Amino acid sequence: MFRSINDAFGRRSTLSVRGLCAMTSSTQAATEPTDPLPPGGDSGTGTGLTATELIGRSPGSLAWARFKRDRVGIACAVTVLAFILIAFAAPLIAKLYGKDPYQLYGQDRGLLNSYGIPLKPNGGVDADFWFGVEPNLGRDVFTLLIYGIRTSLFISLAVTVVSVVTGVLIGLVQGYMHGKVDYFLGRFSDLMLSFPQQLFFIAFTPVIVALFVSPRDEEPTYVRIVALILVQFLLGWMVVGRLVRAQVLSLREREFIEAARLSGASNWRIIRKEVLPNIWSTVLVQATLLLPANVTAEAGLSFLGVGIQPPTPDWGLLFQSGASYFESDVTFMFFPGIAMLIFVVAFNLLGDSVRDALDPKTVR
């Protein structure tokens, strides 16, 4: 009888141990990843890092790791940085080059004919004048170009910064406060968007200039620069404001915002600590796309005669002067056109690369 009891107990113990082992194996299978990463494999985030290396990395460092893998983005960033360095170092470059953008070289050196056209082929390009000379006045095109980068980039950067800051503030107020504040600010934004942009720029730039300077007085260059910044800013902040508003509307109902609100945090603290960190990537991408658009808008206004006025070097003025001599001197418009094309395309591609780095789900 004891033997039968021992046999029964042994079989039950064996079954229990087997059942426990089966439960343990199923638990381990459920907790282990179904598709484990191979040693040294990518984690699928586009950063080239393994899952172990991703632990403890901030979103900014992950975005930078993704951006470094984008060769087009790196090349465009280097190109844009080169333009910025040239703009800041324009006086030094002109001094080393030995030319001044305001000095007339044509008549003194016999570089122009009686019609103001360069005597030498290709617009007077030679070892002394790398990009040739300006028709009619005989100024050096190379120094005009690098100083023109300085003027256009300063105005466009100022417009972009002011527009982005204003758009972010108004978008935050609209999205977080909601209600009547959102309604009235939204209608004001719709009103500003209803204006035709180019006609608004052309019509209101002289009006703003007239507010600061009498028509009988000489117009300082800084007044025209301020007018261009103001008139582009007035119609430049709405796109950023609407994007930020849409982002904030989706964030304000999230659980972490509700938790911060229930914990007694003030609205300013919630916006500063919870909302802003979640929208900065959208704002950064929009800023990289807004700046080249402002460069072309500023050049267009100067080309039409309502922007920067001579003799201040500017890309738009180079196009304006080149259009008058296009048939007799094609080279004069060639160099400014190529420079603006490279800058605008590089900055737009840089914006795409920044967007891809900040959002790995996007596919270009």
Name the residue among 250, 309, 294 with its Cα closest to residue 275.
Answer: 250
pTM: 0.78
- Tens-digit pLDDT string for the chain (364 aa): 444 444 544 444 444 444 434 444 444 444 444 444 444 444 455 555 555 555 556 667 777 888 888 899 899 999 999 999 999 999 999 999 989 888 888 766 677 777 778 878 787 888 888 888 888 888 899 999 999 999 999 999 999 999 999 999 999 998 888 788 889 998 998 888 888 888 888 888 888 888 888 777 777 888 889 999 999 998 889 999 999 999 998 888 888 888 888 888 888 888 888 888 888 888 988 998 899 999 999 999 999 888 898 889 999 999 988 888 877 778 888 888 899 999 999 999 998 888 888 876 655 5
Beta bridge partners of 140: 133
Q: Which pair of tokens denotes residue 32?
A: 């282990």
The SS3 assignment for 364 reads coil
What pLDDT is attached to residue 1? 44
What pLDDT is attached to residue 177? 82
Full set of structural domains in the chain with CATH:
71-358 (1.10.3720.10)
Integer angstrom CA distances of residue 97 from 103, 128, 130, 145? 14, 9, 10, 13
Other C-beta atoms closer than 10 Å to the C-beta of 249 total 15
Residue carrying structure tokens 């484990």: 36
Tell me the chain's radius of gyration from C-alpha atoms.
31
